[in-house]
Amino acid sequence: MALTPGIGSARLDALLAACGTPLGALAAPFEFLRTIPGFSRATATALAERTLADGEAVLAATTGLGALALLPHDPFFPAFLREIPDPPSVLFALGRVELLLGPRVAMVGSRDHSAYGAQVCRMLAAAAAQAGITVVSGMARGLDAVAHEAALDAGGSTIGILGNGLGVVYPAANAQLYERVAREGLLLTELPPGERPFIGSFPRRNRLISGLSRVTVVVEAAHGSGALITAGTALEQGLDVMAVPGPITSATSTGTNALIRDGAEPLLAAADLLAHYPETADAVVSGSNGIEAAPADAEPAIAIPPALAPIAACLGADLLHIDAIALASG
């Protein structure tokens, strides 16, 4: 019933209140369903056509993937998600479901990010993971993927929230990441196995990303970015939003800088984030004092051949056109 079009959590609650039990609701005649407040003819028709076999087929597909279906009364169903506006009525989980019980932080950002955004995202995700905080993101290309990978590379954990059903890899370029998160972390969705993404599925997914997390961090976001939708859902849910400041000349920082201007907490160091998680106070986190780049005179990580040294000397935090490098390096 939770997967029937038009049946959200509010209508499902009204249905169960009117019918007493789920099996009673499933067997209710169309005429009775139309008397329940909020039930249109289309909704009642869709529900009246449901059978127990429909649910059994979904559960069989879920089990076939090695996944679990979680209902709101299940112990692993996140308490945070029971309280948000428009809470999910069912979740499908593949991987380490125990990650739904510990502290979590949402980390989102631009698909078309800068090198600065990737550097900061890796540092923050690694710091959170080392402190025992699970990093939550949306499995999209760009900074979502960076956050997931950095958390796992640091030996920590991550949860990927899908805008499609389990068994569907989207985008296809994230196939290896999908397999790794399913193996080492957790994949979570409210859509049944095999469901393809559709218009509106990703904005709806964003409320789960923020709703799962004590804090939502926006690393980098251009104007109109989906990451800003996640920040908006966090604010609607009464949760904290932090934003990483960026250059005012950078298109990918317009959204984060605007969030800070409008009251979001600026995130200047990993310690700023960890302060929201007092239970991690004793954790030892390497490299978490700030998000600044390494000093210019730091020892390079690789040996640079003398012939290439003039080119290397031109490179820094800012992007350079190859013609500018050629001119500067001779």
pLDDT tens per residue, range 295-320: 444 454 678 888 898 998 888 767 78
290: how many CB neighbours lie within 10 A of its CB?
Answer: 12
Segment 286-291 mean pLDDT: 52
Segment 13-32 mean pLDDT: 93
> Residue 80, SS3?
helix
> Does the pLDDT at position 231 exceed 50?
yes
Strands 158-161 and 134-137: parallel
Q: Is residue 224 very low, low, confident or very high in pLDDT (cuts 50, 70, 90)?
A: confident
> Does the pLDDT at position 27 exceed 70?
yes
Sheet holding 68-70, edge to edge: 68-70, 91-95, 186-189, 158-161, 134-137, 104-108, 215-218, 240-243, 265-266
> Does the pLDDT at position 284 exceed 80?
no
Question: What does the pLDDT read at residue 316?
Answer: 77
Percent with pLDDT over 70 in the chain: 94
Question: What does the pLDDT read at residue 261?
Answer: 97
Q: Is residue 206 very low, low, confident or very high in pLDDT (cuts 50, 70, 90)?
A: very high
Q: Which residue has the higher pLDDT, 92 or 83?
A: 92
> Does the pLDDT at position 285 exceed 80?
no
Distance from C-alpha of 33 to C-alpha of 25, rounded to nearest angstrom: 9
Question: What does the pLDDT read at residue 81?
Answer: 93
Segment 30-40 mean pLDDT: 93
- Which of 103-112, 227-236, 306-315 has the weakest average pLDDT? 306-315
> Does the pLDDT at position 62 exceed 80?
yes
Question: What does the pLDDT read at residue 288?
Answer: 46
Segment 241-268 mean pLDDT: 96
**Distances, alpha carbon 36 to alpha carbons 16, 26, 84, 138, in Å:** 10, 14, 24, 36
Among candidate residues 116, 179, 178, 106, the one with its CA nearest the CA of residue 147: 106
Question: What does the pLDDT read at residue 115?
Answer: 93
Distance from C-alpha of 204 to C-alpha of 26, rounded to nearest angstrom: 26
> Does the pLDDT at position 291 exceed 70?
no
Question: What does the pLDDT read at residue 300?
Answer: 47
- Is 314:325 a contact under the CB 8 Å cutoff? yes
Report the b/e string of 81-112 with b at 16+ CB within 10 A.
Answer: beebeebbbbbbbbbbbebbeebbbbbbbbbe
- Average per-residue pLDDT for the chain: 91
Question: What does the pLDDT read at residue 292?
Answer: 46
Distance from C-alpha of 34 to C-alpha of 32, rounded to nearest angstrom: 5
> Does the pLDDT at position 326 exceed 50?
yes
Token duo for residue 214: 């004590």
Q: Is residue 11 very low, low, confident or very high in pLDDT (cuts 50, 70, 90)?
A: very high
Distance from C-alpha of 280 to C-alpha of 291, rounded to nearest angstrom: 19
Distance from C-alpha of 229 to C-alpha of 18, rounded to nearest angstrom: 35
- Which of 110-124, 182-196, 227-241, 289-303 has the weakest average pLDDT? 289-303
* Spatial CB neighbours of 200, under 8 Å, sequence gap ≥ 6: none
Q: Is residue 290 very low, low, confident or very high in pLDDT (cuts 50, 70, 90)?
A: low
Q: pTM of the predicted model, to two decimals?
A: 0.85
Question: What does the pLDDT read at residue 295?
Answer: 43
* Spatial CB neighbours of 9, under 8 Å, sequence gap ≥ 6: 86, 87, 88, 89
- Is 103:214 a contact under the CB 8 Å cutoff? yes
Question: What does the pLDDT read at residue 302?
Answer: 73
What is the dihedral angle through the alpha carbons of 123, 127, 204, 141, rounded to the nearest 10 degrees?
A: 30
Q: Which residues pair with 266 in a beta bridge?
A: 243
Question: What does the pLDDT read at residue 287?
Answer: 53
- Is 206:234 a contact under the CB 8 Å cutoff? no
Q: Return the percent helix, strand and coil in the chain, to nearest 5.
A: 45, 10, 45
- Which of 51-55, 127-131, 214-218, 279-283 has the weakest average pLDDT? 279-283
Question: What does the pLDDT read at residue 58?
Answer: 97
> Does the pLDDT at position 1 exceed 80?
yes
- Enter the DSSP assignment of 294: P
**Strand ranges for the chain from DSSP E:** 68-70, 91-95, 104-108, 134-137, 158-161, 186-189, 215-218, 240-243, 265-266
